[in-house]
Amino acid sequence: MTTTEPFPTDWQRALCVVAHPDDLEYGTAAAVAGWTAAGKEVTYLLVTRGEAGIDTMHPREAAAVREQEERDGAREVGVEQVDFLEGYRDGVLENGLGLRRDLAREIRRRRPEVVITQTFGERFANGMLNQADHRVVGREVLDAVAAAGNRWIFPELVEEGHEPWGGVRHLGWVGGEVTHTVDVTEHFEAAVRSLEAHREYNSALPDDFPQPRELLTFILGDPQSAGEHGRPTRYLWGVDLFTYGMNA
Ligand SMILES: [Zn+2]
């Protein structure tokens, strides 16, 4: 797709679902900052605590560190509610009905109109390889949104008191094709702070790994806006967005 459309604004509540702490901070947090600044409610749901992500730190310790870093990063972009599913281990997520039910439960609980998750393609749009946990979550969210709206899929959720929620109108995947964009120029600094909040994680990365500002400039910078010294003057967050009822 060569032209993109502006991301819709006709909604109030968004839920962002990803596999690991920091997945949202590689760009999506910039859009989130804009949404919360505009008075929208955004909550985060993490499937794991990313506890296998720091080679030099035991997963028990890393789980607590990375959970806190995610909360700190979320706060930088106006998000207070950050929840973590229990029972899922970093690096070994599998597609399945258990995860789908847990995601459907959270969607019913929060009743979002917008759900944002991560691409389940084998590659990101930039050609880099995607990883298993991201692919699992991106695909299960797709089906969990449908299950959230159907009383007869996972009837045990109704017995728990979670009535169906069929109000998701927009479902987006980040990292692959881009159909819709948000101009996040004004929120670029907040996005940098949200990624910098992952201090322990970032400090354990190889020395030649780009710093948060550099990385987010690469991810969000609009190359067509390059000003003096080649730095972008405009930043865009992009997503592959499906709007229910429109594309059928
Ligand atoms: Zn990840």
Residue 188 in contact with residue 214, Cβ under 8 Å? no
pLDDT above 90 (res 156): yes
pLDDT tens, 89-102?
999 999 999 999 99
Rounded mean pLDDT of 229-248? 87
For residue 61, the CA-to-ligand 1 centroid distance in Å is 18
Report residue 149's pLDDT band, with 50, 70 and 90 as the boundaries: very high
Residue 248's pLDDT band (boundaries 50, 70, 90)?
Answer: very low
Return mean pLDDT, the chain: 96
Instruction: Transcribe 43-90 into DSSP letters.
Output: EEEES---TTS-TTS-HHHHHHHHHHHHHHHHHHTT---EEE-SS--T
Distance 248 CA to ligand 1 centre (A): 31
246 confidence band (pLDDT: 50, 70, 90): low
Amino acid identity of residue 104, one-letter, is: A
**pLDDT at residue number 230:** 81
Taking the centre of ligand 1 as the mean of its atom positions, its distance from the CA of residue 128, in whole angstroms, is 13
For residue 177 the two structure tokens come to 């094709």
Cα 156 to middle of ligand 1, angstroms: 30
**Is the pTM for the entire model greater than 0.85?**
yes
Of 3-7, 18-22, 220-224, 228-232, minimum mean pLDDT range: 228-232
* Assigned token pair, 45: 């749901």
Write out pLDDT tens, residues 183-234. 999 999 999 999 999 999 999 999 999 999 999 999 999 989 987 788 899 9
Distance 119 CA to ligand 1 centre (A): 11
Q: Measuring CA to CA, which residue among 48, 53, 166 is closest to residue 113?
A: 166
Residue 162 has a pLDDT of 98
Q: Is residue 5 over pLDDT 90?
A: yes
C-alpha–C-alpha distance, residues 65 and 81, integer Å: 17
Contact (Cβ atoms closer than 8 angstroms) between residue 216 and residue 22? no
For residue 240, what are its two tokens?
């592959």
Give the start-end residues of each E strand in the chain: 5-6, 13-18, 41-46, 82-84, 114-118, 170-174, 180-183, 236-243
For residue 47, the CA-to-ligand 1 centroid distance in Å is 10
Write the pLDDT tens digit of every residue in 108-137. 999 999 999 999 999 999 899 999 999 999
| Calpha distance 115→215 (Å, rounded) | 25
